[in-house]
Amino acid sequence: MKLQQYLGGLENLGPVNVEKRVFVEDWEARLFGVHMTMMGTGIWAWPHLRVKAEGMNPLDYFKYRYYIKWLGGMCAFLIERGYIDENELDELTAHFLANPDAPLPEKGNKNITDKVVDYLWTGDDPYRDVVINPIFREGQRVQVKDMPSAVHTRLPGYLRNKIGVVDEVYPKAILYSDSVPTDSVSTPQPIYRVKFMTRDIWADIPDTDDIIYNDCFETYLEAA
Amino acid sequence: MSTEKDKHGHHDHLREGESYYAARTKALESLFREKKLIGTDTVDRVINFFDLEMGPFNGAKVCARAWTDGEFKKRLLDDCNAAIAELGLRDGIEGENLKVVECTPKVHHMVSCTLCSCWPWPLLGLPPYWFKDPVFRARVVREPREVLKDFGVELDPSVRVEVWDSSAQIRYFVLPNRPEGTEGWDEEKLAALISTEAMQGLDLVTA
């Protein structure tokens, strides 16, 4: 079991850090720019980053700020895939640590900026043009399966074994990712919006009519 | 400077400090430039894109129009991607499939992503830190009313809370209740009232 895949419902964590900024250090914005370049030029995609996050020591996952974790994940991926050399990165890091105002090289590929901006406007629609025959219908009771632990999942842990009602059957097939190992969301399949009564998930909370909706991949569901 | 190694023999770089993270980020961009994997202006352009083109000002514009034009609101709730184009707004990354959920005096909507940080970029830009906080993500599904209190919002107990936990293709956006006392206000004045947090259900709009 990976804690990062089971965050929903954890208790005793104290108050939320209500930090309304997107970046709290200048380097975070620049790191984000490099990340977007990696996305827009096909070096990586979200699932690669999530594999790194879900593979972390869970205590470290809670300890380190969001973009510190991105920095670790991005560097590890780029080294593993041979885009950069670890020693080269370490040496250059030491150089900029000793000379924080040293300039960046005036080199690069000027075509990449437009490519990245085009990607931002186009996105990456997960719909796939394949015929689907959804096995559940609107209004049907479904139970969420307890899937085996995976490198990467799109199933929130707190919903496992819980029963909900299909609220909407989305009309088209969705492919989550075929580039990383997942618990079977790597083939195009139907998606259902499932409605859960929050009290059906946690019986010990105050009695309200509160609701949780989650979009579930078909592979995660069975008839209840 | 820490040089502890983990079980794989790598330096445990996460334990370093801000100046280290800044230097390593600069080293990364420098290597990308050397290897021609990036342009000299790419990072600045991406930052500028989210300052000026994809940001919460888009979402606020959409809310203000929905509050003042009932027919537009219907189209927005029916097909968000098509409706925002009427305002000259574009969708794109992390907004290929947008859905708007409308608050009423009896139902309050909140958005979460307990697995990562799914967020409707074309309407709100990039997610702020609170949305990505593991504590927020852990608590919002089980105790949404208590989480709201951390944001200074107290909901009437008679209001039902509906949490939209994103994990697949849809990116959710909350249309908050229009505040009282704004009758006759124009869209620009209304849009200025709306926070990013209100458009994910973590704030109420007041005039």
Full set of structural domains in chain B with CATH:
16-50 (no CATH), 55-200 (3.90.330.10)
Say yes or no: B137 contacts chain A, CB-CB below 8 A.
Answer: yes
Tell me the ipTM for this assembly.
0.97
d(CA A4, CA A156): 9
Where in the sequence numbering do the catalytic residues of B fall?
A: 113, 116-118
pTM above 0.90, yes or no: yes
**B81: Cα within 13 Å, side-chain hemisphere:** 16
Question: A-contacting residues of B 20-39, CB under 8 Å?
Answer: 20-39
Residues in A touching B159 (Cβ below 8 Å): none
Question: Would you state the pLDDT for residue A151?
Answer: 96
Which tokens hold the place of A159? 């919903």
d(CA B168, CA B94): 11
**A132: Cα within 13 Å, side-chain hemisphere:** 22
For residues B88, B89, B90, B92, the Cα torsion angle rounded to the nearest 10 degrees is: 180
Task: Name residues of chain A where pLDDT drops below 50.
Answer: none
What letters, b where the CB count within 10 A reaches 16 and e where it falls short, cover A144-162? bbebeebebbbbbbbbeeb
- Tokens 């609220």 belong to residue: A167
Question: Would you state the pLDDT for residue B2?
Answer: 40
Topology of domain A3-122 in CATH is: Cyclin A; domain 1 (1.10.472)
Question: Would you state the pLDDT for residue B15?
Answer: 72
d(CA A91, CA A99): 12
Question: Would you state the pLDDT for residue B16?
Answer: 83
pLDDT tens for chain B, residues 1 to 207: 344 444 444 556 667 899 999 999 999 999 999 999 999 999 999 999 999 999 999 999 999 999 999 999 999 999 999 999 999 999 999 999 999 999 999 999 999 999 999 999 999 999 999 999 999 999 999 999 999 999 999 999 999 999 999 999 999 999 999 999 999 999 999 999 999 999 999 999 999
Domains A3-122 and A128-223 share a fold: no
C-alpha to C-alpha distances, A181 to A127, A149, A184, B167, nearest whole angstrom: 19, 11, 8, 17
What are the tens digits of pLDDT across the range A85-142? 999 999 999 999 999 999 999 999 999 999 999 999 999 999 999 999 999 999 999 9
Question: Would you state the pLDDT for residue B12?
Answer: 62
Spell out the residues 6+ positions from residue B110 whose beta carbon is closer than 8 angstroms to its own. Answer: B140, B144, B147, B148, B161, B162, B163, B164, B174, B200, B201, B202
What letters, b where the CB count within 10 A reaches 16 and e where it falls short, cover B141-157? bbbbbebbebbebeeee
Question: Would you state the pLDDT for residue B93?
Answer: 97
d(CA B138, CA B129): 14
User: What are the sequence ranges of the domains in chain A?
Assistant: 3-122, 128-223
Question: Would you state the pLDDT for residue B1?
Answer: 39
Residues in A touching B23 (Cβ below 8 Å): 93-97, 100
Helix axes B42-52, A112-122, angle to 10 degrees: 30
Beta strands in chain B (DSSP E): 98-102, 107-112, 160-165, 171-175
- Alpha helices (runs of H) in B133-201, residue ranges in sequence order: 134-139, 144-150, 187-191
Residues in B touching A164 (Cβ below 8 Å): none
Which tokens hold the place of A194? 């499932």
Query: What kind of architecture, by CATH, is found in domain A128-223?
Result: Roll (2.30)
User: Are A165 and B142 a contacting pair, CB within 8 Å?
Assistant: no
Strand partners, B5: B11
